[in-house]
Amino acid sequence: MCSLCGTIANAQIKGDVTGDGKVNDADIDEVVNIIMGDSANPYGDVNGDSRVNIGDIGAIVNIMMDPTHFCSDGLNYAISNDHVSVISGDSEYQGNITIPERVTYNGVTYRVTSIEGFAFYQCRSLKSVTIPSSVTSIGSSAFEECTAMTSLTLSDGLLSIGGSSFEGCTGLSTITIPGTVTSIALNAFKNCSNLKNVTTEIQTPFAILDNVFEGIASGGTLTVPQGTKSAYQSTAGWNKFTNIVEA
């Protein structure tokens, strides 16, 4: 499933009822105050059931017991050493998403370096995604069948695009592949049936499988850097484009 982390209004971190940027015993105490009627804090509904009760205390305890996963500003993350990956959760990412380069949790700032496989899988109400330069890899099927997505921004710094990562994204009509990319796996853009314009900034093309762009719009254009047209015409996978032009 794809994910949307919170029903806790303006609170940045799920479980951070007090708003101090951390999830700890103080948040449990605050939920108790809300239940007892001693606080009007609007962020006590941690588990998303539209009420504040002992279940929210349990949700906070669970978050405290698993500090490697957290939710911030509508995105779910998994911690690995000094960096984090964007991951999936329990419900649907929607609308326009901008992934940050860094995110702070419990007083520690982490660099966002990857999007895990299936993170946004079948999020059919997702409209646009902007991926920052800190992200070096996009996992398999990360955005597969995000059919309403019409805008995708990939940044320099990206190295690998996983298998089927954007397969079936029928709303995309144009994409730009950064020059830093060194691998594009099978079916990456397969069946993006309205994809008509592919721009690559890769100076030295590497071989890709024929199915990477299989099923895109008929007669699509591949725009390549100046002086590289002949190289693309002779490189496996890229040479399946019949219309290759230089920028």
- Taking only the tens place, the pLDDT of each residue in 128-153 is 999 999 999 999 999 999 999 999 99
pLDDT for residue 12 is more than 60: no
Helix boundaries (H) for the chain: 25-36, 54-65, 229-233
Count of residues for the chain?
A: 247
pLDDT attached to residue 90: 61
* b/e code 75-104 from CB counts within 10 Å (16+ = b): bbbebeeebbbbbbbeebbeeebebeeebe
Cβ-proximal residues to 40 (8 Å cutoff; 6+ apart), any chain: 34
pLDDT attached to residue 7: 35
pLDDT attached to residue 22: 78
pLDDT attached to residue 66: 67
DSSP state of 34: H
Beta pairing class for 183-184 and 221-224? unpaired
pLDDT attached to residue 107: 86
Integer angstrom CA distances of residue 4 from 10, 49, 86, 146, 153: 14, 15, 12, 15, 20
pLDDT attached to residue 14: 75
> pTM of whole model > 0.85?
no
Q: Look at 54-68, 205-219, 221-235 and tell me which has the smallest mean pLDDT.
A: 54-68
Cβ-proximal residues to 88 (8 Å cutoff; 6+ apart), any chain: 1, 2, 3, 76, 116, 118, 119, 120, 121
- Residue 19 near residue 27, CB atoms below 8 Å: no
pLDDT for residue 120 is more than 80: yes
Nearest to 188 by CA among 210, 158, 212, 216: 212
Q: Look at 5-14, 45-54, 70-79 and tell me which has the smallest mean pLDDT.
A: 5-14
pLDDT attached to residue 237: 97
**Residue 247 three-state SS:** coil
pLDDT band at 6 (very low <50, low <70, confident <90, very high): very low
pLDDT attached to residue 69: 83
pLDDT attached to residue 92: 79
pLDDT attached to residue 70: 85
Nearest to 117 by CA among 135, 137, 99, 93: 137
pLDDT for residue 10 is more than 50: no
Place of tokens 């919170």: 6
**Alpha carbon distance 9, 245 (integer Å):** 48
pLDDT attached to residue 1: 37
- Residue 191 near residue 218, CB atoms below 8 Å: no
Tell me the mean pLDDT in the region 228-234: 98
Tell me the mean pLDDT in the region 230-237: 98
List the Cα angle 86/91/92 in 5-degree steps.
75
Question: pLDDT tens digit string along 58-110?
Answer: 888 877 776 688 888 889 999 988 999 998 866 679 999 999 999 998 889 99
Nearest to 63 by CA among 31, 27, 30, 88: 27
